[in-house]
Amino acid sequence: MSAIRRFRIAAIPADGVGQEVVAAGRQVLDALAAASAGALAFAFDWQEFEWGCAYYGRTGRMMAEDGLEVLKDFDAIYFGAVGWPGVPDYVSLWGLRLAICQNFDQWANVRPVRFLPGVRSPLRKAGDTELDWVVVRENSEGEYAGMGGRNFAGRGPGGEIAVQSALFTEVGCERIMRFAFDLARTRRRRKVSSVTKSNAQQYGMVLWDEVFTRVARDYPDVETESVLVDAMSAKFVLRPEDLSVVVASNLHADILSDLGSALAGSLGLAASANLNPERRFPSMFEPVHGSAPDIAGQGVANPVGAVGSAALMLGHLGLPEQAARLHAAIEATTAAGILTRDLGGTASTDDVTKALIDALHA
Ligand SMILES: NC(=O)c1ccc[n+]([C@@H]2O[C@H](COP(=O)([O-])OP(=O)(O)OC[C@H]3O[C@@H](n4cnc5c(N)ncnc54)[C@H](O)[C@@H]3O)[C@@H](O)[C@H]2O)c1
């Protein structure tokens, strides 16, 4: 009898709807594991951490002091969303999510934009055009390097100034671009679009462009283009069929991927993987959306983004067929019209979760 493969997963639901969608994702993943058998059997050993804004209220910290030490031995991290009124967003984000991403060198953030059957896109052409692209976000530096300062002395009340610098290193640019080109080679359309703003930002973004041109030479089989971020925003709406892999800096990709998920129908659908491709540290899988305080606690959060992130986690853990099964279950569920409120439906989080599990067994 072959041994069952076990994966140690750290669950960090954190705040608001993060708690609801992580609970849903765990149920779906456990159902998938329970249905596995024989030589392909696998199971998840979950450990849940109660870090987040409520923990901050009790302890003054967003995560335990030895949190990173504890997390580093897990096979993966399954994350919800962080942020809650009463705690400044920069405190909650830097204290938990960015602390994990940056200390675990999760330098590649992969955010697929998927159009699902049964979900109405605000894009008219989505009805008859195949649309499918991936945003690859530089996740370790750029505009989120945390460099800067404020409160410069001597300017008096009302005269304060603040500086927020963006950091672009040749190593950081090169690794994310090679990642994007390697990903493009696995896709039907081998194309990488680089997002830039080098017309206005003549240092960091010019370095970004130069590295893109240099790396592209090693991938002569991959089409390329370099597009200013403002033009790329328009292209997402007007010519998305021309996109396959979009590589962008930390801030540009953060904004563009929200636009992409809105175009696919809702922010609640979008999945993401924060990868440490060298596997020195665990990677982290999370929906793109935040804690949605406006709908938290009502049982109406869309769990599809979190479940899609679980599929990305399965791929990373070496279970691509299981990831494909999960995607098929998502498509069957949306195609059957079992949709939460953000998509115009009436289903609850639990209804969608149950439908996903039923679809796995179908
Ligand atoms: N990765 C993260 O942890 C992350 C990302 C973005 C924002 N945030 C934090 O989340 C908090 C709220 O931020 P925000 O309102 O700008 O963004 P948000 O993503 O939480 O919400 C934006 C809109 O999308 C809707 N929405 C989000 N997730 C949904 C889901 N699963 N199902 C249905 N609808 C959903 C919300 O109801 C809201 O109308 C802030 O504290 C912010 O800092 C965290």
Q: How far is the CA of 292 from the centre of ligand 1 (A)?
A: 4
172-187 residue pLDDT tens: 999 999 999 999 999 9
Q: How far is the CA of 275 from the centre of ligand 1 (A)?
A: 21
Task: Give the C-alpha separation, 55 to 59, whole Å.
Answer: 6
Read off the pTM.
0.95
Which of 20, 266, 267, when mutated, tests ligand 1's pocket best, judged by the most ligand atoms within 8 Å of its CB? 267
Q: pLDDT: is 158 or 343 the higher one?
A: 343
Smallest CA-to-CA distance from 17 within 94, 63, 81 is with 81
Structure tokens at 21: 């969608």
56 is catalytic: no
Specify the residue with its C-alpha closest to ligand 1, atom 21.
292
197 is catalytic: yes
**Cα angle vertex 162, ends 160, 166, to 5°?**
175
Q: What mean pLDDT value characterizes the chain?
A: 96
Q: What percent of the chain has pLDDT over 70?
A: 98
> What does 282-331 look like in DSSP terms, one character per residue?
-EEEEESS---TTTTTTT----HHHHHHHHHHHHHTT-HHHHHHHHHHHH
Count of all residues that appear for the chain in the document: 362
Q: What pLDDT does residue 38 have? A: 86
Instruction: Provide the pLDDT confidence category of residue 2 given band limits of 50, 70 and 90.
Output: low
Q: What percent of the chain has pLDDT over 90?
A: 92
Task: Give the C-alpha separation, 9 to 74, whole Å.
Answer: 6
Specify the residue with its C-alpha closest to ligand 1, atom 16.
290
254 is catalytic: yes
Q: How far is the CA of 291 from the centre of ligand 1 (A)?
A: 5
Which residues line the pocket of ligand 1, CB cutoff 6 A?
17, 21, 81-83, 89, 93, 97, 267-268, 286, 289-295, 301-302, 305, 340, 342
239-to-173, 193, 218, 228, 305 alpha-carbon distances in Å: 26, 13, 27, 15, 24
297-322 residue pLDDT tens: 999 999 999 999 999 999 999 999 99
